[in-house]
Amino acid sequence: MKDNVLQQDPIAAIATPLGIGALAIVRMSGQGVLAIAEKVFRKAGSNEDCALSDSPGYRAHFGRLYDGDRLVDEVVLLLFRSPASFTAEDMVEITCHGGPVVVKAVLKLLLDNGCRLAEPGEFTRRAFLNGRIDLTQAEAIGEMIHARSESAYRTAANQMKGALAHKLDALRSRLIESRALLELELDFGEEDVEFQSRDELRARVDELRREVSELVDSYQHGRLMSEGVATVIIGRPNAGKSTLLNALLEEERAIVSHMPGTTRDYIEECFIYHNTMFRLTDTAGLRDAVEEIEHEGIRRSYEKIAEADLILYLMDISEDDFMEEVATIKDIRDEYAGTELLVVANKSDGAPDADQRMQKVGEESGCRVLGISALRQEGLDKLKDEMARLTEGLDKLHEASVLVTSMRHYEALRNAEDALHNARELINTEADTELIAFELRSALDYVGEITGRVINEEVLNTIFDRFCIGK
Ligand code: GDP
């Protein structure tokens, strides 16, 4: 933590969701919040205003809040003294009764007595500015709050603990060291001294690049852990896409979360199976002759396919012309070669020779084919097992190593990787020290941006604006 805590103007906000509950928390942070609490709080069994300013930190006080003579609520005040608080400023948490009207009255009392309503994420922003947490930890708090699956939550918790930050700080120190030696050479200018041999430097840059690349590569897995596996169900109209979607969601009804899609062309819903979250999209049907009116929907479908981690191609195996779909399957396989594709042969209940048919499709298309009956809910466990295979081993991987889960971190690391690549090329071509130093400086800046060692106001705004007020 920084030695000098900056205590900014006092802010207040409701920290718990507005609704009916046993208790709720309203909190304050900043210069003079103890004095504000003192003005409105009377300790139980006393008619005197309470001298909270003399109280030590980490102390709870039971009593009542008053607006003049009017009782507002019976509360517990929890005091934190700078720097031992979340924001590192003086803080007061007021636990009051959990009704929306009560909570708002408590907040209003604080605002009337000198607090300003906090901006979204302002508490966390102050924690960052006072060096209590770095940016990756601040973001992890946001991700943990929004986590919709166990794996997303655990990945965020790991990041909040500072695993990523430590790794990046260690990388940074080594980059600084290499660069400092190069800058020394520059200072000596004409004298043609080398403080580290070019071979040494090359080895260092290679090692750093390898570590950065590992982090970049972990993004694919990290994203699956935190956002879930983006899965699209495609196929001709009437193949049974909606029936399958409903069957998958119905079985997991207890843990289904609804996320209405942004357009009516597709719906997106989530279910969790074996700790992995799947985000399922049922797209508008694919067909060759497209009527104008459907065009937009189908274009969006293709966009969804491009973004997917897993494509479920659903076909009606009971149709006589089932082999005609092989061409489409092959097209999709080639078009989206980097994406996992699973062919699902639906309506196997409607074709006595379904097994032979599936085998034929498998042989012709070169894809794995799985038979189900969405209507009778047969074969769904096998299908889900197969879907989960995608993320198999991710849990173990993630326990052992640091995963990059955020697009922002990923992009910065990609840039750092490029800069290190350039540095390597420059060393090989015996380029000027100045040019090599420049590339190392860029790599350093990119890594520093992730943890917030290099502060970029715009980045800060986008991060903290996503928080809710009170966080
Ligand atoms: P979509 O257009 O691909 O979304 O297809 P739907 O889910 O609307 O299904 C089209 C029709 O096929 C409906 O009448 C379903 O009841 C029927 N259907 C879906 N799955 C099966 C299945 O496994 N077996 C049989 N026999 N009919 C099915």
pLDDT per residue over 347-357, tens digit each?
Answer: 999 999 999 99
Any idea which residue has 């947490």 for tokens?
Answer: 133
| CATH no., domain 140-221+402-452 | 1.20.120.430
- Residue 237 beta carbon below 6 angstroms from any ligand 1 atom: yes
The CATH superfamily holding the domain 11-134 is: Probable tRNA modification gtpase trme; domain 1 (3.30.1360.120)
Give the model confidence (pLDDT) of 248-283 as tens digits: 887 543 333 333 333 334 556 788 887 778 888 766
Span from the CA of 316 to the centroid of ligand 1 (angstroms):
9
pLDDT at 203: 94
pLDDT at 280: 85
- The two tokens of residue 142 are 């946001």
Which residue of 241, 243, 249 sits with most ligand 1 atoms within 8 Å of its CB, as the best mutation to test the pocket? Answer: 243
Whether the CB-CB separation of 398 and 155 falls below 8 Å is answered with: yes
Span from the CA of 377 to the centroid of ligand 1 (angstroms):
11
- Residue 283 beta carbon below 6 angstroms from any ligand 1 atom: no
Any idea which residue has 């080398």 for tokens?
Answer: 194
Question: Which stretches of the chain drop beneath a pLDDT of 50?
Answer: 252-265, 286-294
Give the model confidence (pLDDT) of 181-204 as tens digits: 888 888 776 666 777 788 999 999
- Residue 349 beta carbon below 6 angstroms from any ligand 1 atom: yes
Q: What would you measure as the largest C-alpha separation in the chain, in angstroms?
A: 88
Q: CA-CA distances (angstroms) from residue 110 to 9, 23, 105, 279? A: 13, 18, 9, 42
Amino acid occupying residue 199: D
CA distance 27 to 233: 46
- Residue 242 beta carbon below 6 angstroms from any ligand 1 atom: yes
Span from the CA of 407 to the centroid of ligand 1 (angstroms):
38
CA-based torsion, 234, 235, 238, 239: positive or negative? negative
> What class is the 231-308+310-389 domain?
alpha beta
pLDDT at 46: 65
3-state secondary structure labels for all residues of 102-144: HHHHHHHHHHHCCCEECCECHHHHHHHHCCCCCHHHHHHHHHH
- Residue 287 beta carbon below 6 angstroms from any ligand 1 atom: no
pLDDT at 303: 74
- Residue 236 beta carbon below 6 angstroms from any ligand 1 atom: no
What is the distance, to the nearest Å, from the Cα of residue 56 to the centroid of all Cα atoms in its chain? Answer: 37
Domain map of the chain by residue range?
11-134, 140-221+402-452, 231-308+310-389
pLDDT at 278: 87
pLDDT at 262: 32
